[in-house]
Amino acid sequence: MKGKRILLGITGGIAAYKAATIASQLYQRGADVRVIMTKSATQFITPLTLQTLTHHQVYTDTFDERDPEVVSHIDLADHADLIVIAPATANIIGKVAHGLGDDMLSTTLLATTAPIVIAPAMNVHMYANVIVQKNIQTLRELGMQFIEPASGQLACGYVGQGRMVEPEVIVNWIEQYFAYEASKPLAGKKLLITAGPTVEPIDPVRYMSNHSSGKMGYAIAEQAKKAGAEVVLVSGPVTIPPPKGVKVIEVKQATEMMDAVMNELATSDIIIKSAAVADYRSKVVFDEKIKKNSEELILELKKNPDIAAEVGRVKRPDQMLIGFAAETEQVEQYAKGKLERKNMDLIIANDVTKPGAGFGTDTNIVTIYDRDGDKIELPQLSKQEVARHIVQVIGERLHART
């Protein structure tokens, strides 16, 4: 982290006192730490404390311009390698989600192109509030990352999720972020990934599909791109924007996804099958809408091609195949069976019945299995964080081969 310019935003929560430790530890690791405090934050900890720890002036007021050669909030926004908001209140999250800039911190956040990571801290009911969660979702979709709050005793007396994680966790996250950015573990590799659901038509108005949102696959595509890979994303119908710099091939049916994958396979080094492909399709696709003429409707289904199995059958020894297993029971048993049966190198398994895991959520709880019997269990993390871990493991396995 030596020489990295980190902008630390501190907002008005009781956890503001922890920001002093974050600033101190970052400075001790060689980072150039600049601090912006909201007016409310100064009620919990003084600017002088942060100034002493970072050896730089602390910014609290947009109009307090001390250097006539620059506009302070633009200068800070332009030169930050990473912006960390810790603690982040519901107020600052709401401001950023709605594009508001009415103080030094929120204005700087609007002006920056630097990556932003947010460490929320608030009452358990505030954190669970549907409006706050919608704002968090908006920021995730815009590419901002979150360090999930911990559960436990809160300052207000409640017990639950909302407590900002300890400073060491945040500093460790920042260290890993810069190490990951510098290492580019997938540089020079082409990664082919499938994501989202497939849609199997029945008639002109009906189809069969599943609950996959594509969030996990899109997160992996984004992290793989950051890790230096050339990324091709074969995507079923989703409502999320594709990552920047990624080639997207849009498909609907399983057969279309199969064709797209096989067309890209020969030139790919890494293949990740994260799409939730429909196992069956209607044997007959009716030209006209099926009418409700009886109490029962019998629909004959035909098995779809198993894309992962076919890739596993034809892949070269130098290619790496990674799959997903979304299960509701006996997760390890089914995942390991799929790993062997489809000739995969790694499989990422999760129990979709667990809160915070599975389809449509912004978080996931996964275990990574390999062919040697090793496994890596990850706690509940944002899907971006899960994706970062997966990409890191893939990079390590590729380098171990060579």
Superfamily of 184-401 according to CATH:
CoaB-like (3.40.50.10300)
Beta carbons within 10 angstroms of residue 28's beta carbon: 12
User: Residue 180 pLDDT more than 90?
Assistant: no
Q: Give all strands (DSSP E) within 200-319, no chain letters.
A: 200-203, 206-208, 230-235, 247-250, 270-273, 280-282, 301-303
CA angle at 336 for the pair 332 and 341, rounded to the nearest 5°: 150
Q: Mean pLDDT in the chain? A: 93
Run of H or E including 320:
strand 320-327
Which of 209-213, 374-378, 397-401 comes out lowest in average pLDDT? 397-401
Comparing 185 with 310, the larger pLDDT belongs to 310
Contact 22, 32 (CB under 8 A): no
Instruction: Band the pLDDT of 10: cuts 50, 70, 90.
Output: very high
For residue 338, say whether it is annotated as part of any ligand binding site.
yes
The pLDDT tens digits for 36-80 are 999 999 999 999 999 999 999 999 999 888 887 788 899 999 999
For residue 273, say whether it is annotated as part of any ligand binding site.
no
Mean pLDDT of 310-324: 96
The pLDDT tens digits for 261-298 are 999 999 999 999 999 999 999 999 999 999 988 888 89
Instruction: Band the pLDDT of 187: cuts 50, 70, 90.
Output: very high
Mean pLDDT of 302-316: 96
How high is the pLDDT of residue 212?
94
The single residue listed with the structure tokens 């029962």 is 296
Active-site annotation, residues? 156
How high is the pLDDT of residue 346?
97
- Which one-letter amino acid corresponds to residue 198? T
How high is the pLDDT of residue 68?
77
For residue 134, say whether it is annotated as part of any ligand binding site.
no
- Which one-letter amino acid corresponds to residue 248? V
What topology is assigned to 5-181 in CATH? Rossmann fold (3.40.50)
User: Residue 154 pLDDT more than 80?
Assistant: yes
For residue 4, say whether it is annotated as part of any ligand binding site.
no
Domain ranges of the chain: 5-181, 184-401
User: Residue 400 pLDDT more than 90?
Assistant: no
Q: How far is CA 103 from the centre of its chain?
A: 28
Question: Helix or strand or coil: residue 194?
Answer: strand
For residue 289, say whether it is annotated as part of any ligand binding site.
yes
Q: How far is CA 146 from the centre of its chain?
A: 9
For the sheet with 116-120, list strands across it.
58-59, 32-37, 5-10, 82-88, 116-120, 145-146
Q: Can you give the pTM of this predicted structure?
A: 0.72
